[in-house]
Every structure is written in structure tokens, then in C-alpha cells.
Structure 1
């Protein structure tokens, strides 16, 4: 009987995941030694964003952050990585959550080359962001740098 109840519980767990899946992503405000923040412009969505992406199965959030920084901009992080906030990103899905990190010691250790995902990338002074920087990116930087009230949605 114990094995039947284990099977039942497992099936209920799978059904729950299929009915109500949640996704988890990471984004990072990566600052270089000059205090500039690294932003990317994707090929598939408009605007300038902080780099980030989904957390893969069996991957820690911090490992996903390091991986995404490298993949999207050839950025390495030698300084502190600190979780700043957790946000619901209901623009993507009603169950998408983003862990937002402040990252120090960002350095582009290889030249960036545009690719199928990232059209442009670069470091920008927070007070001189490029035209087209998304409202969400601007709000997160205001929270992080200027003490703006923390939101719970991206």
C-alpha cells in the first residue's frame, strides 16, 4: 500500500506542475570599476535590458546569473553578487519570477560579438542610459541606486 500512495503523491505532484508551472529567472545589475552598468539589447524584444535569463533544471540561481552574464556579454564578475529583490514578471507569464542581483566587479573579458540573441551590449553610466532603456530596467536601477520604493512586480 505504501508504494501505491507514493505513486499517487508523485502523480499529484506532476499534475500540479502541469496545471500551475512556475518559471524562475535571474537578472543582474552588473557594475564595472567605473560604476557603469552593463545592458543588452535583444534581437527578439525591444529595448535595453539588464542581462539575465532562466534558471535551468538542477542549476542554482547564482550559477544561472554567472552563466547568463557570460553568454549575453562575455562578462565575468569578480566582486560581490548580492540578491536585491524578487519580482513577479507578469509581462512574461502570471507565474514568472525574477531574482534580481546587484553585481560588482563586472568586466568584459572578451570582445562582444552580436549574435542570434543579443544585437548590442555595453556599459552605460546610470545617469546616461541609452534611448530605449526599458521602464523595468529604469525602475530597478532607481530602486537600487536612489532608494525608490521597492516594487513586487518587474
Structure 2
């Protein structure tokens, strides 16, 4: 593998993400997403995922589909991305404008503390890796936005209106 490979993969991942968001901009003028801060209180850890198509570690989540509530979307996304079933209604923490995706993309962040995981999530076409990580030992490649959301959830940092 040559030294340019990681940069090339990052560039291709960003291009794919822009194309994906461009499609949604045309098909849905405003996009709404949800992400879950899945917190295991016993181990003081959070669940993170690494996608196959964008770099870094992220909170699980995704887009709210037509006819779907934000809570339905959140339950679907954490089930698909982490084999996690909600055990109680999560708490809405904040809503952010994601200007990096588009001027019309909003993301709602929920805190999930009552859940059951039906076994580890195996890698697939979307999820390369996933797992629970102690709050004081998050992966080095955790994205800046994910780190900000975790700080807002657990360190008393005021939520930013922006992603």
C-alpha cells in the first residue's frame, strides 16, 4: 500500500458522502437525521461505529424516512447498526444544523441509557466495526462532531446549534 492510499480513500469517502447528500437534497429538500448516544452506565462507555464509506468513529444513527417518527428512526438505526433494542424512551439532548452536509440537514441527538444488545454487531457492507468504548478511552479516530456530542452529553458543555 502506498502512502497516498489513506488520503485517496478519504477523498473517495467524502465524494461518496457528498453524492449521497446530493441525492437526498434533490429527493427531499430538507433532511432530518437522528443519532444515539448509547451509554452503558455500568462500564461508563458509549457505543460507536465505524462505517465502510466515511472515515472515523461515529455515534449510530441515520436518516428519518418519510412517514417515520424520529424515535422510530432512532430505534431502527441502533438496531441495524448495533443490534441494540431500546428498553425505554430515550431522552432528546439537542438538535443541530449540519452545515457540512447541506444548509438543510438537521440531526437530533438522543441519550439512550436503557437498552439491550442482542449480541455484537458483525461487519457488513455499511458497518466495518462497532463496539462500546470507555468515555476516558475513545478511539483516536473518533470524529470531532462525535467528541463534541459526547462532551455535551456528559461534561456539561452547552450544545452547539451546529453539528
For normalisation by structure 2, the TM-score amounts to: 0.79
Matches of 1:145 and 1:25, distance apart in 2: 21
Structure 1, gaps ≥5 residues long: 1-16
- Asked if 1:71 is matched to 2:84, the reply is no
SS in 2 for 1:129: coil
Report the alpha carbon displacement of residue 135 of structure 1 after superposing the two structures with TM: 0.4
The count of corresponding residues between Structure 1 and Structure 2 is 138
**What secondary structure does 1:24 align onto?**
strand
1:146 aligns with 2:161: no
Q: Aligned-pair distance for 1:20?
A: 8.2
Pairing 1:112-151 to 2, within 5 Å after superposition: 112-151=121-160
**2:153 alignment partner, SS class:** helix
For 2:26 and 2:49, the matched residues in 1 are separated by 32
Unaligned residue ranges in structure 2 (runs of 5+): 1-24
Secondary structure of the residue that 1:142 maps to in structure 2?
helix
Counterparts of 2:147 and 2:98, CA distance in 1: 15
Aligned to 2:94: 85
What does residue 26 of structure 1 align with?
34
What is the deviation of 1:50?
0.3
Instruction: Determine the C-alpha separation between the residues in 2 that align with 1:123 and 1:147.
Output: 21
Q: TM-score, normalised by structure 1?
A: 0.84
- Report Cα offsets for 1:21-60 as digits up to 9, x if no partner: 1100000101124231100000000000000000011000
Q: Report the counterpart of residue 5 of structure 2 in structure 1.
A: none
Q: Which runs of 4+ in 1 moved over 4 A?
A: 17-20
Taking only aligned residues, the RMSD between alpha carbons, in angstroms, comes to: 1.8
SS of equivalent residue, structure 1 residue 70: helix
Distance across 1 between alignment mates of 2:88 and 2:26: 39
Change (3 A) 1:89 1:32: same
